[in-house]
């Protein structure tokens, strides 16, 4: 029986709890959530039936898998206080953005660490969760983390050297995709479509496009060509969209987010 603890009970932590429970990988009674907010803990307990505590040390003592789900700037102080409570039997999963396994292991002399970059789509069970093992983590730890994260969407292991790119693409990506979708919706509204209907059409089209790419194993360029007929409506739109300026802008978007991820890692 897995006993899972959460240091921090924010939205991402709650999404993970909900996924574990829904997929019956962990029962509510096997989850212990800790947070500084009694009000937040009461809400999480009411919605999901998990156990709660205001004492983070209790979370560590009573669980074998511990999820670090606090803001990166809070980690240093929290881990220095909790370090004596961790043992070599603990599997520690960190979802703190920008904090490397090396940094975390310098604060935690005991425990096997796995770093995770989730994204907000975990809230609906469609998250993209990327993880990397620390120096003490084992292949068995990797399998357990993949099983847990799979409850919240997709999970894949990548080298930690790629995590700045991961953060930029899948971590920040939902905001970028949402921004682009919003601009397309604006265009439909200017053509006379009510915003609610435009948003529904655009959102379902984005969802369907993603499923086509993943389930049919298509390349984006191939899908674009499949939809485009000569001198048709898609071709007319692509002639406007596919400019060197836009391609450069999108590349710069990912580069800026990755650069900020590197800066946060050194903060």
Q: pLDDT by residue (tens digit) across 52-94?
A: 999 999 999 999 999 999 988 888 899 999 999 999 999 999 9
CB 108 within 8 A of CB 137: no
pLDDT score for 262: 87
pTM above 0.85, yes or no: yes
pLDDT bin (cut points 50, 70, 90) of residue 267 is low
d(CA 20, CA 49): 12
pLDDT score for 1: 64
Least confidently predicted of 38-52, 94-108, 155-169, 224-238: 94-108
pLDDT score for 97: 82
**In the chain, what are the helix, strand and coil shares in percent, each to the nearest 5?**
60, 15, 25
Tokens 């921090």 correspond to 8
Domain boundaries, the chain: 4-159, 171-265
CB 155 within 8 A of CB 20: no
Q: Which residues contact 70 (CB under 8 A, 6 or more apart)?
A: 7, 8, 10, 78, 96
CB 32 within 8 A of CB 59: yes
Segment 196-206 mean pLDDT: 98
Integer distance in angstroms from the first to the last C-alpha of the chain? 38
Residue-averaged pLDDT of the chain: 95
pLDDT bin (cut points 50, 70, 90) of residue 117 is very high
Domain 171-265 coded CATH 1.10.3730.10: yes
What is 4-159's CATH superfamily? NAD(P)-binding Rossmann-like Domain (3.40.50.720)
Q: Which two tokens stand for residue 134?
A: 């620390």
pLDDT score for 18: 94
The predicted-structure confidence for 121-179, as pLDDT tens digits, reads as follows 999 999 999 999 999 999 999 999 999 999 999 999 999 999 999 999 999 999 999 99
Q: Which two tokens stand for residue 120?
A: 């907000």
Largest interatomic CA distance in the chain: 68
Q: For the chain, how big is the Rg over CA atoms in Å? A: 21
């Amino acid at each position: 029986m897995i006993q899972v603890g959460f240091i921090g009970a924010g939205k991402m932590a709650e999404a993970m709890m909900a996924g574990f429970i829904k997929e019956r990988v962990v029962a509510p009674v096997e989850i212990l959530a800790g947070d500084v907010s009694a009000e937040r803990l009461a809400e999480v307990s009411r919605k999901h039936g998990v156990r709660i505590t205001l004492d983070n040390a209790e979370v560590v003592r009573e669980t074998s898998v511990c999820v670090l789900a606090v803001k990166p700037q809070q980690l240093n102080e929290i881990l220095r206080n909790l370090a004596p409570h961790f043992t070599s039997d603990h599997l520690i999963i960190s979802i703190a953005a920008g904090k490397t396994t090396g940094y975390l292991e310098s604060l935690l002399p005991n425990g096997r660490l796995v770093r995770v970059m989730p994204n907000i789509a975990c809230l609906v069970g469609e998250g993209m969760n990327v993880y990397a093992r620390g120096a003490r983590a084992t292949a068995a730890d990797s399998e357990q983390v993949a099983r847990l994260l799979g409850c919240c969407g997709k999970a894949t292991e990548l080298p930690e050297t790629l995590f700045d790119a991961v953060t930029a693409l899948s971590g920040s990506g939902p905001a970028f995709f949402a921004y682009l979708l919003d601009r397309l919706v604006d265009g439909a509204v200017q053509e006379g479509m009510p915003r609610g209907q435009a948003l529904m059409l655009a959102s379902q089209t984005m969802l369907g496009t993603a499923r086509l790419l993943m389930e049919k194993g298509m390349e984006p360029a191939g899908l674009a060509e499949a939809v485009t007929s000569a001198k048709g409506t898609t071709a007319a739109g692509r002639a406007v969209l596919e400019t060197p300026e836009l391609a450069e802008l999108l590349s710069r978007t990912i580069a800026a987010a990755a650069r900020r991820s590197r800066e946060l890692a050194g903060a």
